[in-house]
Copies of this chain bind each other. A is one copy, B any other.
Amino acid sequence: MSEAPREIEALIDLMARIPGLGPRSARRAVLHLIKRRGALLSPLGQAMLAVAETARECLNCGNVGTTDICDICNAEKRATGEICVVEDVADLWAMERSGVFRGRYHVLGGTLSALDAVGPEELRIPRLISRLKTESIEEVILALNATVDGQTTAHYIADQIGDGVRVTSLAQGVPIGGELDYLDDGTISAALRARKSF
């Protein structure tokens, strides 16, 4: 397929590797960007190079930032003695958007998976255990996804932490605004088991 010039084909091929875009939508996106090459394509290219240059993972928690230690780990007021353990940075951002949690995070970078040969070492779990002492942690909140791998990982981490530190997990139940008719059976039965006095 060489209907477009080499430079443009090269861009389409790279764009098609962005999650959410396939070969077809990459072609449409590139044409859209070329039409707006001054207002969008150039700034986007520059922003990408800037991020490629500066982005790094926090050496302490695995969050993405532009410094070796991220802003959250650097913030003294977030040393609340609580660590919220999440799978990915996207989950950390979701927690931050809710604005409720004021402690620090630990980004695992995935879940344990026998199938994909992901063990504790790949997931910054040893780093989490060592943080418990150095940061005087009193509570670890396991905010992992409610999937089989997520829950397996949560159980493994809870085992590793042992006594002396409180280990909690997010409540499971009916989402706010959720309609029972649209919920899966697992959510309904979890919400029923965890029912509370009104």
A: which residues have CB within 8 A of B?
Answer: 1, 3-5, 7-8, 10-11, 14-15, 17-21, 25, 27-34, 37-38, 40-52, 54-55, 64-66, 71, 88-90, 92-93, 96-97
Nearest to A42 among chain B residues (CB) is: B52
- Stoichiometry, as copies per complex, reads 2
What B residues does A66 contact at CB under 8 A? 5, 7-8
A54 to B7, Cβ gap below 8 A?
A: yes
What B residues does A88 contact at CB under 8 A? 31
Could you jot down 11 A-B contacts, CB within 8 Å?
A7-B47, A7-B51, A8-B51, A10-B50, A19-B29, A27-B93, A44-B45, A44-B48, A45-B45, A46-B49, A49-B49
Nearest to A1 among chain B residues (CB) is: B97
B4 to A34, Cβ gap below 8 A?
A: no
A50 to B20, Cβ gap below 8 A?
A: no
What B residues does A4 contact at CB under 8 A? 64-65, 93
Contacts A42-B52, A45-B48 given; indicate if A19 touches B11 (C-beta within 8 A): no
The 9 closest A-B pairs by CB, nearest first: A45-B48, A3-B96, A45-B49, A20-B25, A41-B52, A3-B93, A11-B47, A42-B52, A37-B52
The complex places the Cα of A5 from the Cα of B68 at a distance, in Å, of: 13
A20 to B29, Cβ gap below 8 A?
A: yes
Contacts A8-B55, A29-B20 given; indicate if A3 touches B49 (C-beta within 8 A): no
